[in-house]
Amino acid sequence: MLVRESISFKRGMDPKKAMNIGIAGQIARYEEDSPDGIFDWALINHIIDDSDLQGDTKKSWINHLLETDPDKYELDENSMYWFDDNNFDYLTPLPNGHSWNITPGLSLVKEDGQWLAAFDNWSDWSELFMNNQKVSHVFIVQVLMGDAYNFFDVDPHMSEDEIANFIKGNLKQIKSWSYLEDLYIEEGGEEDRGNVEKTISVIYSDEKFEEIKRSIDNALMSADMSAREGEAFKNLKEAIVDHFELGTEEYLETSEVYKVNTTITGADKLAKASKIGSDNYIDYLPPRDDYWAEMDPTYFSEELENNLGYNVS
C-alpha cells in the first residue's frame, strides 16, 4: 500500500520529529488510512510487507508494538526471516512475563530481563533435533525420557579376566560379592573368600555353578546397559545445552518444572525453532564409541544380589 500524505513521512528524518506525534499515533493513523483494513494480529506482518515504509520506520514501529502488547500480534515464519535479514533485535523489547510455547512441554519465558527455558522433562526438547539417518527420533525421545533400556540390550562380551578385574577393583562397592561367595560355598565351591580370580574361573568352568554364572552375566549386562543409557542421556543433554546456550537447570518441586537460563542467542534459536523450524534445530550425530561408559559397581552389586536371589536361592 502507499503511505498517505496525511502521514507525511520524510526520508532520513526521525518519525517523531517529522510528524510531531508519538509512534503510537503514527501507527494508529497508518491503520486508519489502510484502504483494505488490517487485522490486529496481522499488523506486524503488514508493516513488514509494506514496501512503501522505510526500514527504520518499520523497526521503530515493530519495536513499539513488541514493547506494549506483544501477545496481540502474530510472529510467524515471515516475520522471523525479516528479523534475521534486517538484523532486528525482537527479543529485547518484549516485556517481562512474555512467553513462547516452543514444544508442548517447553516454553521460553522472560523473567527480570533474562530469558529462561521452562520444561517438564528433557524429552520436551526431542522435537528440536534434526532428522538424520544416524539416530532415530524414537531413540532420542526414549533416552531423554530415561526409558531407552531396550536400545542397549546387548552382551558386554567380557572375558573371565575382565570380569574378575572389574569385581576385584570394586569390592568395596560390590557388597553382594560376599553373598555370592556364601552361595558358591553352599553349592560345593572351595572356601577361599577374597580370591576373586579363582572363584570366577571355577564358576565359569564348572556347570554346577551355572545359575551363579547366569546371575553374574545378567548383572553385568544390566550394569552395562544402564551405563550406556546414562551416557546417551548425558550426550544428548550436552547437545541441547551447547546448541541453545543453557545454564544449569533448577528443578522447582512446587510446580514440578525445570527452569534454566539461556543467552539472548539461545533464546533467539529457540524462538525461531518454533516458528521457522529445522534451520535452528540441533544437528546431532552419535559418538563413535556407541555411548560406551564405565559400569557403576554399586548398580552391578544390586543387580547381582537380585539375580542371585531369583536364580539360586
* Angle ∠(98,107,282) on CA atoms, nearest 5: 125
- pTM here? 0.84
- The helix (run of H) or strand (run of E) holding residue 252 is strand 250-252
Q: How far apart are CA 108 and CA 100, in angstroms?
A: 5
Residue 17 has a pLDDT of: 46
Q: How many CB atoms lie within 10 A of CB 307?
A: 23
Closest to 188 (Cα-Cα) out of 205, 204, 209, 215: 209
Residue 83 has a pLDDT of: 94
Residue 4 has a pLDDT of: 44
Closest to 52 (Cα-Cα) out of 2, 8, 7: 2
Bridge partners, 262 (sequence order):
115, 246
Bridge partners, 111 (sequence order):
114
Q: How far apart are CA 50 and CA 3, in angstroms?
A: 9
Question: Three cell numbers at 254?
Answer: 512446587
* Per-residue tens of pLDDT for the chain, all 313 residues: 444 434 444 455 454 444 435 899 999 999 888 877 788 889 999 999 999 999 999 999 999 999 999 999 989 999 999 999 999 999 999 999 999 999 999 999 999 999 999 999 999 999 999 998 889 999 999 999 999 988 998 887 899 999 999 999 999 999 999 999 999 999 999 998 889 999 999 999 999 999 999 999 999 999 999 999 999 999 999 999 999 999 999 999 888 899 999 999 999 999 999 888 788 999 999 998 889 999 999 999 999 999 998 766 5
Q: How many CB atoms lie within 10 A of CB 203?
A: 22
